[in-house]
């Protein structure tokens, strides 16, 4: 019987404990030897002392460096380590405010589209083999396309920014921010009226994994 050591070692980097434990359990059940942590600093320490065969990481890891930063560092310093991005968002732009792009060999998975532990395990195997398999994303029929500006505004709305805070964050006037928000609601097909909570609906769509930045 093949041992866990010969199957491979995987490091999971995810700041949400529930998701981290869920992914760890799924991969352990598929025969991988799993370690997990909740921050970039912890991840770097593990990688430096106990180099894994693959890293599975989220993009949004709270304050500080992002999963994109970790992917870029791995590509630079540990190019033999396979990398799987496991995120709630079809487009990286929705998870982090700005980025220089993900390395070419990263395997990209959207959480809501992963149907089984076997699918996740196959992605890890593909990443170790340097095969950037097609991204696992939601059904194209259900996808909503936004501009980069609209995606940034949606990310801020989901983080509970007011229109004034969005204006300050983006370095624009309040009126311009209000117009951006209205255009966003229109693009999402959300009616902004006293009877509907458009901001809550927009935040829910941000979490859905259906948004694509064109």
Count of structural domains within the chain? 2
For residue 209, pLDDT beyond 50: yes
Question: Would you state the pLDDT for residue 60?
Answer: 85
Range 138-161 average pLDDT: 79
Out of 73, 98, 128, a domain closes at 128
Q: Decide if pLDDT at 115 tops 70.
A: yes
Does one domain contain both 65 and 163?
Answer: no
Judge whether residue 105 has pLDDT over 90.
no
pLDDT tens across 30-69, in order?
A: 999 999 999 999 999 999 988 899 999 998 888 888 888 8
In a domain, 18, yes or no: yes
Mean pLDDT value of segment 163-188: 91
Indicate if 76 and 106 belong to the same structural domain.
yes
Same domain, 49 and 111: yes
**b/e 145-156 (16+ beta carbons within 10 angstroms → b):** ebeeebbbbbbb
Nearest to 82 by CA among 122, 119, 116: 122
Confidence of residue 1 (pLDDT cuts 50, 70, 90): very low
Domain end: 98, 128, 158, which one? 128
Residues 28, 98 within the same domain:
yes
Task: Give the integer Cα–Cα distance in Å for 167 and 172.
Answer: 5
Q: Report yes or no on 134 lying in a domain.
A: no
pLDDT of residue 36: 94
Q: Are residues 116 and 73 in the same domain?
A: yes
Q: Could you tell me if residue 136 is inside a domain?
A: no
Give Cα separations from 107 to 44, 61, 71, 171, 190 (angstroms). Answer: 20, 18, 11, 34, 32
For 190, the 3-state DSSP assignment is coil
Mean pLDDT for all residues in the chain: 84
212, 95 Cβ separation under 8 angstroms: no
Q: pLDDT-based confidence at 97, cuts 50/70/90? A: low
Assess whether 165 and 77 both reside in one domain.
no
Examine the pLDDT at 131 and tell me if it is beyond 90. Answer: no
Report the alpha-carbon distance of residue 103 to residue 31 in Å, rounded. Answer: 27
CATH of the domain at 165: 1.10.10.10
pLDDT at 4: 41
Do residues 56 and 85 share a domain?
yes
Same domain, 9 and 71: yes
**Helix 163-170 to helix 174-188 angle, to the nearest 10 degrees?**
110
pTM of the model: 0.69
111 and 163 both lie in a single domain: no
Range of the domain at 94: 4-128
Asked whether residue 52 falls in the same domain as residue 79, the answer is yes
> Are residues 156 and 122 located together in one domain of the fold?
no
Q: Could you tell me if 200 and 161 lie in one domain? A: yes
């Amino acid at each position: 019987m093949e041992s866990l050591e010969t199957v491979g070692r995987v490091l999971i980097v995810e700041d949400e404990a529930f998701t981290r434990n869920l992914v760890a359990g799924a991969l352990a059940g598929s025969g991988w030897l799993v370690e997990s942590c909740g921050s970039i600093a912890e991840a770097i320490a593990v990688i430096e002392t106990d180099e894994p065969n693959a890293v599975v990481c989220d993009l949004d890891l709270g304050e500080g460096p992002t999963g994109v930063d970790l992917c870029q560092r791995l590509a630079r310093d540990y190019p033999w380590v396979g990398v799987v991005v496991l995120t709630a968002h079809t487009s990286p732009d929705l998870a982090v405010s700005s980025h220089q792009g993900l390395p070419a060999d990263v395997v990209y998975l959207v959480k809501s589209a992963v149907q089984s532990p076997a699918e996740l395990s196959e992605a890890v195997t593909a990443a170790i083999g340097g095969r950037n398999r097609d991204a696992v994303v939601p059904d194209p029929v259900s996808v909503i396309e936004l501009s980069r500006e609209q995606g940034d505004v949606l990310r801020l709305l989901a983080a509970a920014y007011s229109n004034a805070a969005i204006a300050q964050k983006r370095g624009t006037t309040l009126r311009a921010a209000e117009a951006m928000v209205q255009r966003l609601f229109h693009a999402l097909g959300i009616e902004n009226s006293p009877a509907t909570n458009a901001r809550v609906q927009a935040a829910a769509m941000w979490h859905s994994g259906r948004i694509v930045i064109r």
